[in-house]
Homo-oligomer: A and B are copies of this chain.
Amino acid sequence: MSTEKAGYHHGNLRETLVRTALTLLEESGVEALSLRAAARGAGVSAMAPYRHFADKAALLAAVADQGYADLRDRLAAADTQADPRQALVEQGVAYVRFACERPALFRLMLGAPSAGAAPGPKAPAHQPPGPQPPGPKKTAGSGYDILSARVAGLVAEDRRDTAVVAAWSLVHGLACLAVDGRLHGMPGGMAAPEALARQVTSLFTAGLVAARPPSVSA
């Protein structure tokens, strides 16, 4: 009760703002998610959010954090299979399913970083493309750990890092293409993205286990 819960003026505005912003995002799209609209939805004035968030990007980051938590939970929940190959497939399917079920959130989380502060009066305008991973740092990092552990069970150690990057790239790319409707013209693209994810990740993991360089097979 002493931390930040019960009522000052509004109650707890911060949480209300995040929830309102998330609703706005998922029901009306990114372009409808403005700071003023969130404030309006929370029943406060346009400047009130600035008592809880430094700028629009900070609100968006808070919304994205919700998404990271949900995604991490889903990946963990999909990691029940004992066979690492099956587990990897299920994780990939869960990743793509998340993206398809919550496309706007997914894009906010893993799209272009800090696309929030746009048309202000003073625009610093550019950022060096180097050091800026404001996204799935620690939260989705756990998801990354889960993925990494599963890949470790499938490939030799010298190819592990490459395989992890490849696995993430595969499902992330499929998720992006599906979410952005880029698979519609393709031969296999008419299938449900989840089914596609299953096929694609199965193909990938099959290749992983089949292409062992050490002298074991044959």
* A interface residues (Cβ-Cβ under 8 A, vs B): 27-32, 34, 103, 107, 110-113, 115, 117-119, 123, 125-127, 129-133, 135-137, 141, 144, 159-166, 168-177, 179-189, 196, 199-200, 203-204, 206-211, 217-218
Contacts and interface: CB of A to CB of B under 8 A. Distances in A.
Nearest to A212: B210
B126 A181 contact: no
Contacts of A165: 174, 183, 186, 188-189, 196, 199-200
Nearest to A132: B181
Contacts of A136: 182
B188 A161 contact: yes
Nearest to A155: B203
B31 A125 contact: yes
Contacts of A135: 180, 182
A64 to B, nearest CB: 13
A138 to B, nearest CB: 10
A32 B123 CA distance: 8
A12 B179 CA distance: 37
Given A161-B187, A169-B174, 17 more contacts: A28-B125, A31-B125, A34-B119, A110-B176, A111-B112, A113-B181, A133-B185, A141-B185, A162-B196, A163-B203, A166-B200, A166-B204, A170-B170, A171-B173, A204-B204, A204-B207, A207-B208
